[in-house]
Structure 1
Amino acid sequence: MEEEEPFSSVYSAGKTLKQCESMIQKGLQTPIVRFLRERLEEAGCPVANNFFRAVNCEANISGGYIRGRGIIVCMNKIDQQDEVNQVLAHELIHAYDDCRAANLDWTNCAHHACSEIRSNHLSGDCHYKRELLRGYLKIRGHEQECIRRRAMASLSGNPNCSEAAAKDAMEAVWDVCYNDTQPFDRAP
């Protein structure tokens, strides 16, 4: 979750705007993304196609959710359709959390940590095959280590969370947030 838009209008690598927009449209048809959009609608937070934007990002991120504005996909940081699909699923879980929690405060380390734990767990970001492609070869316990590592990386971008505060927040909310699989019946 970024409060400021971490992108510029200067294009630098990855996909063109048109290519990325096409990939976003294709990603919107995937089962997990359709499911999450339906759950957002049911929760009272409809998501139109203009909720998703392809942008050039300066920060080293693949995408982000910006409250009240939507989801960005960083066209200069992605190369494959699967990456776009993952960004959409991950960020839609943040949008779902924002929708269902009336008091979610993205500047609060515990709130941010909870949503990062959930989005990394439920979106498939830490699937074994993805971890292998990233060079992480651990067989046992890889998923929880991945979730922790990726959540800490996201929290490091929150100016309100020092490394110690981020670790403490993540540990404090881990059990509740890891086991909260809404809107799914169980972790996909």
Structure 2
Amino acid sequence: MTRPPQQPDFSPADSPSFRASFEQWRRSLTALASPPPPLRCDPEYNQPAQWSDGPVMHGDTDAATPPTDPKREAADCRRCEKWRDELSRDSPIVRFLLTHISLLPPSRNSTMPAPSSSPTPHLPLPITCAPCPPTMAGGFSPELGILLCQNRFMSRKHVEDALAHELVHAWDERRFEPRGKWGDDLRAHACTEIRAETLSGDCRFGREFTRRNWHFAKQHQACVRRRATLSVAANPNCKSPEEAQRVVNEVFESCWPDTRPFDEIY
């Protein structure tokens, strides 16, 4: 028999704000400890066409062309959802980001689906696995949550890096308020990309070595600048690669050192 969670014993000296903060932490940690729902690799949840509508923060693009075989797509979906649920339970960086996202209220303009209609009701935002074109491996949208491109991942570690990248975007979307809609403010786009590339592990030396991009000095910074510039250049509101590079350079010195919610680079 499952016992109801016990209420903490607060002392009279504990302030109402402390009690409220404690309860918020307890609820978020209890939610993350809940078992994930059954895998949902069916057409109801695989709708990548929605992700082509509106601004989306894209992840990296280091894998093969998407398959068209339905059996292969179903296998990719099962593998992606399995890794997603394992990482949300076992990965320190993913659990840390999910916990801190759950502690922030949704942004004022958020239109994400309710938990009852989310593919991940046990998590603070929807995380969907679906097939994608070769131009992306993941994405974040304030309307849809996080997309993991099930046919683009080379390993479980690749999924962890991509998921951490998109979770940084999700935290930024709740923590900071850009001018206009998500993606309209190129400086905000550049800043969240710099932070996501810096904190997620996308630019660690091993990943850059497989891309044949390495430097003897400031390798991490060079990777972050390059990948953030490519992401901003793909924004429909960006007029040219030169404008993307200029915007990234303008915000780099202020956004690169910002490691929140981490104390330092993971």
Structure-2-length-normalised TM-score:
0.64
**Partner-residue secondary structure (3-state), 1:146:** helix
Once the two structures are TM-superposed, the CA of residue 59 in structure 1 deviates from its matched residue by 4.5
- Partners in 1 of 2:79 and 2:98 — Cα distance? 22
Matched, 1:116 2:177: no
Is 1:175 paired with 2:253? yes
Percent identical residues: 33
| 1:22, distance to aligned residue in structure 2 (A) | 0.7
Q: Given the alignment of the two structures, is residue 22 of structure 1 paired with residue 89 of structure 2, yes or no?
A: no
SS of the equivalent of 1:57 reads coil
Aligned amino acid, residue 36 of structure 1: L
In the alignment, structure 1 residue 125 sits paired with structure 2 residue 202: yes
Is residue 152 of structure 1 aligned with residue 198 of structure 2?
A: no
Q: Write the distance in 2 (CA, Å) between the matches of 1:52 and 1:63.
A: 10
Q: Give 1:131-142 correspondences, 5 Å limit.
A: 131-142=208-219
Q: Equivalents in 2 of 1:163, 1:42: separation in Å? A: 36
C-alpha deviation, 1:181, in angstroms: 0.9
Number of residue pairs matched?
184
Task: Say whether residues 1:98 and 2:98 are aligned partners.
Answer: no
Unaligned runs of 5+ in 2: 1-49, 54-66, 107-114, 116-120
1:114 maps to amino acid:
C
Which of structure 1's runs of 4+ aligned residues deviate more than 6 A? none
Larger Rg: 2
Using the alignment, how far apart are the partners of 2:245 and 2:169 within structure 1? 20
The offset of 1:88, in angstroms, is 0.6
Alignment check: 8 A CA contact 1:90 1:120 kept: yes
| TM-score of the pair, normalised by structure 1 | 0.88
1:44 aligned partner? 105
Secondary structure of the corresponding residue to residue 5 of structure 1: helix
SS class of match (2:249)? helix
In structure 2, C-alpha distance between the alignment counterparts of 1:143 and 1:48, rounded to whole Å: 34
Maintained 8 Å contact 1:56/1:75 = yes
Which residue, out of 128, 132, 136, partners 1:61?
A: 136
Following the alignment from structure 2 to structure 1, what is the Cα–Cα distance between the partners of residues 163 and 68?
21
Question: Are the equivalent residues in 2 in contact too, given 1:53–1:72 (CA < 8 A)?
Answer: yes
